[in-house]
Amino acid sequence: MRFEQLNPFTVAVYYLCVLGIIMFSMNPLLIGIALLTSVLSAVIGGTADKKAHLFSLAVFLIAALLNPIFVHKGATPLFFFNDNPITLEATVYGLCAAGMLTAALYRLRDLSRVMTSDRVLYLFGRFSPQIALLLSMAIRYTALLRVRWRRICDSQRALGLFDDGNLIDAVRGRARVLSILITWTLENGIVTAESMESRGYGTGRRTSFAVYRVHKYDVIVMLICFLLTALSAVGVYYSKAVFYPALTMDLLNPWGITAAAGFTVLSVLPLIINGKEAIRWRLLLSKT
Amino acid sequence: MRVIENPRLRAILRYGIPFVLIPALVALSAVLFEGQRYLIISIGIVVLALLLFMTGFEKRNIGSRRMVITAIMTALAVFGRFIPLFKPITAICVMTAIYLGAEAGFFCGSLSVLISNIWFGQGPWTPFQMLGFGLIGLIAGYLSRVLLRSNALLLLYGVIAGVAYSFIMDVWTVLWYAGGFDWGLYTAAILSALPFTALYAVSNVVFLLLLRKPVGNKLNRIKIKYGV
């Protein structure tokens, strides 16, 4: 099973673990690993195009510059700018924060791609069927509104009621389309509500359908996730990374190395799972 | 709308969150992290606050009609987020809240953010945005009698909501970036976000002005015609 096909709960737990460590560790070694592995996963998974990479680069540069310019804590001034010291500590912290932000953004882009609306619905349906119903109706209406918007626009345009070339005319036409859209959908919604009621909505417990099941594989992946996260967290706790007032780093003690190793494996877990599947697929093909 | 069916669990959450869980989190941060990890604690507290609001709505049934209309307004807010630059999301939440009640306003705000972030990117900011827009709706719902009567106050509410939302989200930006609160960075964030803050406030006012009459009339009509 590919990583994206696992139970949404497992996927959510995985991303929570990875993002948790990326965002809360503030450990230069782990942030370096996170940055490398996130870019690597994005490149291998093909989730980010050139524009996305450039955007991330811009975020990194801006974030790295912001801290030394505005924060003047730290014991080692590098040089003075407008009578304000630019310190080594603030610069290093800025680099780390920028790496953290960029890595987190890459991971969040992955998460958004994997967490489609049906999966979000599945996760919330567990928590409360009422919210799940409201969510599923809202998602459905979002799609429906788009279809109806285009339909009304087309018919109004075909009737010659507004001209796209004329700005004022176009805006007024759009306003009329919006008005029609809202009236139509609200009236239609009442019909939906009537239909729901006549079919017995609210008379009993509401259940919802889901295509996802919890397999043994999900449990195993989740356990591995928790184990690696615990290893990294304990390692981060025992290795020292203090930025202010002076840099005090003790990253390469046994605990620090454990954290780094655990986090590396955790970061590339989806790649490992998908790689295993790819190899198995090749083997199956070669046998036939 | 009763979010959690089990009455005992609901009672536990209602009293447990403000009196046990949130103080425990704050104490934990003071003892375990020596007051250093603001970010993780603030995310935890925001998620708990969202849960508290959602479980706090006590009335048994809001009725299927009101529910469907809330869903439609939520969808409209999501739809509106695709308009470049000018976002009508606040205006739609406020309209929903003053015509359909505070509860509907809260759900319209928070769920529209949750849904639209499927396209715009989920992240640790999602709970903050959900709480922000949910509160904009909730407060508008409580002030509905005043806001319905006076056009000027409604527009003022739009401006305040836009500015307050931006200021609160900047707190979050600083917490995420610096790991702690720093006035210098906060001022920098507010200054750099100034065009966006102005845009929020202006688009709130513009959309409230534009939508107040037509959407208000439509919602009113539905209310009178079908007794929502």
Residue found under tokens 């524009």:
A51
| Cβ neighbours for B182, distance < 8 A, ≥ 6 positions apart | A70, A71, B174
Are B92 and B80 within 8 A, CB to CB? yes
pLDDT band of B35, cuts 50, 70, 90: low
Residue of B nearest to A121 (CA): B115
Rounded to an integer, the average pLDDT of A146-169 is: 86
Residue of A nearest to B80 (CA): A142
pLDDT at B60 exceeding the cut of 60 = no
B79/A142 touch (CB, cutoff 8 Å), yes or no: yes
Write down the mean pLDDT value for chain B: 85
B214: closest chain A residue by CA: A179
Give the lowest-confidence range in A8-22, B30-44, B172-186.
B30-44
CATH number for the region B62-226 comes to 1.10.1760.20
A189 to B111: CB separation less than 8 angstroms, yes or no: no
Q: Taking residues B97-117, report their average pLDDT.
A: 91
pLDDT of residue B139: 93
Count of CB atoms situated within 10 Å of the CB of B227: 8
pLDDT at B81 over 70: yes
B69 is written with which tokens? Answer: 């209309």
DSSP B34: T
- Give B184's contacts in chain A (Cβ within 8 Å): 70-71
Total beta-carbon pairs less than 8 A apart between chain A and chain B: 143
Cis peptide before B84 (omega within 30 of 0): no
Confidence of residue B228 (pLDDT cuts 50, 70, 90): confident
Q: What is the pTM of this model?
A: 0.79
pLDDT for the residue numbered A186: 92
Cα Rg of chain B (Å, integer): 18
What pLDDT was estimated at residue A8? 92
**Residue A117: pLDDT band by 50, 70, 90 thresholds?**
confident
pLDDT at A212 over 70: yes
Q: In this predicted structure, which of A1-15, A67-81, B96-110 has the lowest mean pLDDT? A: A67-81
Provide the residue ranges of all domains of chain A, joining segments of one domain with +. Answer: 3-118+214-287, 125-198
Please list every residue in chain B whose beta carbon sits closer than 8 Å to the beta carbon of residue A66.
177, 185, 188
Q: Structure tokens of A101? A: 């932000």
Q: Whole-angstrom Cα distance, residue B93 to residue A200?
A: 29
Nearest to B115 among A19, A109, A142 (CB): A142
* Per-residue model confidence (pLDDT) at position B59: 62
Count Cβ atoms below 10 Å from residue B24 Cβ, excluding itself: 12
